[in-house]
Amino acid sequence: MRDGHLQPMEQVRRDSSAGIRWTRRTRRRATMASAAAVIFLVFAFAASATAASPAAPPVKTVQVDVIGDSLSTGYRTPGDTWPGQAQKIVAGMGLNAHITNASENGAGYVQPGQDGDVFLDLVNRIVNSHAQVVVLFGSDNDAGRSGEVTAVQAALARVKALAPHAAVILVGPTSESDDPTGSLAGIRQTLATAASGIGATFVDPISLGWFQGSASADLSADLEHPNTAGELYLAQHMTAVMAPALKTAMQRNEARAGWPVRVRLTDAVRAV
């Protein structure tokens, strides 16, 4: 007390153990100092953890292997292929992937291509344990030929042996019509059944009408192979088909790389 009055804002208590005089002002300063100490400790802990932990290894690029026929080689558009266009689209989506194209003009599961290879040969040429997505596209070259079932099963069995953890996507042949004569029905059904048997994805461009109606304008004069606009059109469709598998593969690669868990500072302060 001073002159018989309480000192404003300074209601004093005495600590029984240390005899320290406390005021509201000193308590507020002590609280602020404690909060500052907590934040300092959080920063110090984060810095020491970063310094002690080795840098996370880079995330592996998702390897995509494409097996196909002249629809994928740029037969009518030399130097311009849908896999090349898809590579740009995938990068623009922020997907870390590399597409390798091992297609051959005239090839199919049964029908040898211009260099004498069938799809099984092309699988053996590029697919390995690093592959995370394998796409087999086609082929109308197999229409009317015998041995489709055995050839498809052999190619898929080889894919699973070489890349057991890869996502497999089978895409059937395309057509400017809905295949009214049923000439492509056999290979389409064979692919659908084989995909179901190994847990692969099957996509049927004919039932989806990829190049039918007004979209036939994206075909060259032979009404079979894509023109320049058609390569981009096909790349957009194929990217949409591949994207879910690419995203899943990327997430797995990030987990394997051991990316550190990011904790927000505010959450750390609340925990303290």
- Alpha carbon distance 114, 112 (integer Å): 7
Catalytic annotation present for 222:
yes
Contacts of 263 (CB under 8 A, 6+ apart): 46
Which listed residue (65, 70, 72, 117) is catalytic? 70
In degrees, rounded to 5, the angle at the alpha carbon of residue 200 between the alpha carbons of residues 195 and 201 is 90
Q: First and final CA of the chain: distance in angstroms? A: 39
Q: Which residue in the list 103, 179, 225, 237 is annotated as catalytic?
A: 225
130 is catalytic: no
Q: Is 34 a catalytic residue?
A: no
* Beta carbons of 110 and 151 less than 8 angstroms apart: yes
Spatial distance between the Cα atoms of 229 and 217, rounded to a whole number of angstroms? 9
**Half-sphere exposure of residue 165: CA atoms within 13 angstroms, side-chain side:** 10
Token duo for residue 227? 């023109």
Closest CA to 66 of 165, 200, 201, 170: 170
Structure-token pair, residue 174: 């395309």
* Residues with catalytic roles: 70, 222, 225
